[in-house]
Amino acid sequence: NAGVMQNPRHLVRRRGQEARLRCSPMKGHSHVYWYRQLPEEGLKFMVYLQKENIIDESGMPKERFSAEFPKEGPSILRIQQVVRGDSAAYFCASSPAASYNEQFFGPGTRLTVL
């Protein structure tokens, strides 16, 4: 049973470009979470999604960031018009159901903004 998959593992963007980060949850998992690890700031929750629904986006920056988890395909975290402060490691996690909520983490995507 493959774990949580994230791609790309490393992403380099210039200021003003768009970044798209993909996450495929573990087989049988319908809950996806995104976290960001900024240098010197630790790991912070961004957004929680189920298929076709955003459940909690209380940790998402108000502008330029969006997330989706379509009926088919991976979850996407999209960052428009990236700035240097967006450079961070972005982790995706998945869990099987609300009644059993252990979260399993992917390897992360390291975004570098030049």
Site residues (vs another protein, CB under 8 A): 31, 33, 35, 42-45, 48, 55-56, 58-59, 89, 91, 93, 98, 101-105, 107-108, 110
Q: How far is the CB of 96 from another protein (least distance, A)?
A: 12
Q: Which is nearer to another protein, 53 or 72 (CB)?
A: 53
Beta-strand relationship, 88-95 and 19-24: unpaired
CA 48 to chain centre: 9
Beta bridge partners of 33: 48, 93
Q: Which is nearer to another protein, 40 or 63 (CB)?
A: 40
Q: How far is the CB of 75 from another protein (least distance, A)?
A: 15
- Which residues, other chains included, contact 61 with Cβ-Cβ below 8 Å and sequence gap of 6+? none
Q: How far is the CB of 103 from another protein (least distance, A)?
A: 6
Q: Which is nearer to another protein, 16 or 61 (CB)?
A: 61
What is the rounded CA–CA span in Å between residue 35 and residue 37? 7
Q: Which two tokens stand for residue 63?
A: 């502008």
